[in-house]
């Protein structure tokens, strides 16, 4: 059974990475394309390149995730069943949200799904992922509360010094400076996205191999890191524009200067989370919170709060839905695992 499950888990991990890039490219390029700082083609190509580069540059977050989880996942078929159910559930939720045009967190989806599959295993009297409650608290609940609020607040405040510095510039000069800065900051967001989500893919591949006793516990193999980078970048090249439309047109109206501010704040948060705190932050929530925060600090109210509330509702529902879906999938798989 292990010989059958391991290729399925690895394939599901790669598919999840592709879907992640396909959906999350919107986070990097939506604002830049909306303000014409970058053309859609140039934005997607830059996003794919910097996402790949970010994944290959750092292993700290992935190593942290492996060390935190690998000793807590059951061995052999049971552990692989938990991973497979979690990946399929998180991927299904991601596809549904893409179809609805809603930006949601892939990181929160997969962590919640792992906890749900683990709970189903424990319900049947088997071993689950030990420390699942702590994983939900530190990996989902706390970032869900902190990331968008912090991004909103910092972006709102930074609009003030940004506009003050350009107080003597004409609107045309201000827009040109904002677009130039936005082109750079869009690449920085893609780099931060690679640092965050790309390392998670390598970590999940390594975790599957360790669970199947196909490799010894330790750091992420180079080929696993390269595989994660390749599938994430390939998904980015696919460029799902449904979510980009939501971020660029349905939440708030911003100018290039505020777009540059939002992207700079979100990129800085992703860098800090990956390289300093070693915590999985949601690219989606950082970018969305920053865009809404910078757009809220304008002379005329432009935030479409009804749409923002709808997005936040999906964020709150994601942990519950993914946990339940993964639990049901694991219960369906369990007869084949014993």
**pLDDT tens across 191-215, in order?**
888 887 777 788 888 888 888 877 7
Q: Is the pTM above the cut of 0.85?
A: yes
**Which pLDDT belongs to residue 153?**
95
Q: At a CB cut-off of 8 Å and minimum separation 6, what does 25 contact?
A: 44, 47, 48, 51, 235, 236, 238, 239, 240, 244
- 93 pLDDT band (50/70/90 cuts)? very high
pLDDT for the residue 273: 81
The predicted pLDDT at position 266 comes to 92
Report the pLDDT value the prediction gives residue 130, as an integer from 0 to 100: 63
Buried b (16+ CB within 10 A) or exposed e, 243-274: bbebbbebbbebbbbbbbbbbbbbbbbbbebb
Asked if the model's pLDDT at residue 70 lies above 60, the reply is no
Residue 73: what pLDDT?
67
Percentage of the chain beyond pLDDT 70 is: 89
Report pLDDT for 71: 44
Q: pLDDT-derived band of residue 311, with 50, 70 and 90 as boundaries?
A: very high
pLDDT at 63 over 90: no
């Amino acid at each position: 059974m292990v010989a059958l499950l391991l290729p399925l888990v690895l394939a599901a991990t790669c598919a999840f990475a592709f879907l992640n890039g396909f959906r999350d490219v919107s986070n990097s390029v939506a604002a830049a394309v909306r303000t014409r700082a970058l053309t859609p083609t140039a934005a997607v190509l830059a996003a794919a390149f910097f996402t790949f580069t970010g994944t290959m540059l750092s292993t700290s977050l992935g190593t942290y995730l492996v060390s935190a989880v690998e000793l807590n996942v059951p061995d052999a078929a049971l552990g692989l069943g938990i991973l497979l159910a979690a990946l399929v559930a998180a991927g299904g939720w991601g596809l549904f949200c893409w179809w609805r045009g809603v930006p949601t967190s892939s990181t929160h989806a997969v962590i919640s799904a792992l906890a749900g599959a683990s709970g189903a295993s424990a319900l049947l009297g088997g071993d689950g992922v030990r420390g699942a409650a702590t994983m939900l608290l530190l990996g989902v609940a706390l970032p869900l509360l902190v990331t968008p609020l912090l991004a909103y607040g910092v972006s709102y405040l930074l609009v003030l010094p940004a506009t003050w510095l350009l107080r003597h510039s004409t609107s045309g000069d201000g827009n040109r400076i904002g677009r130039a800065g936005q082109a750079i900051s869009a690449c920085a967001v893609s780099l931060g996205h690679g640092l965050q989500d790309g390392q998670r893919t390598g970590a999940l591949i390594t975790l599957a191999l360790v669970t199947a006793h196909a490799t010894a516990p330790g750091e992420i193999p180079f080929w696993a890191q390269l595989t994660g980078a390749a599938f994430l970048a390939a998904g980015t090249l696919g460029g799902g524009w449904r979510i980009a439309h939501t971020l660029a047109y349905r939440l708030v109206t911003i100018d290039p200067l505020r777009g540059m501010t939002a992207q700079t704040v979100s990129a800085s948060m992703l860098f800090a989370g990956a390289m300093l705190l070693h915590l999985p932050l949601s690219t989606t929530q950082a970018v969305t919170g920053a865009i809404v925060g910078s757009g809220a600090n304008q002379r005329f109210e432009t935030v479409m709060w009804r749409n923002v509330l709808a997005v936040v509702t999906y964020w709150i529902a994601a942990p519950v839905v993914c946990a339940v879906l993964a639990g049901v999938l694991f219960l369906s798989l369990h007869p084949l695992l014993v």
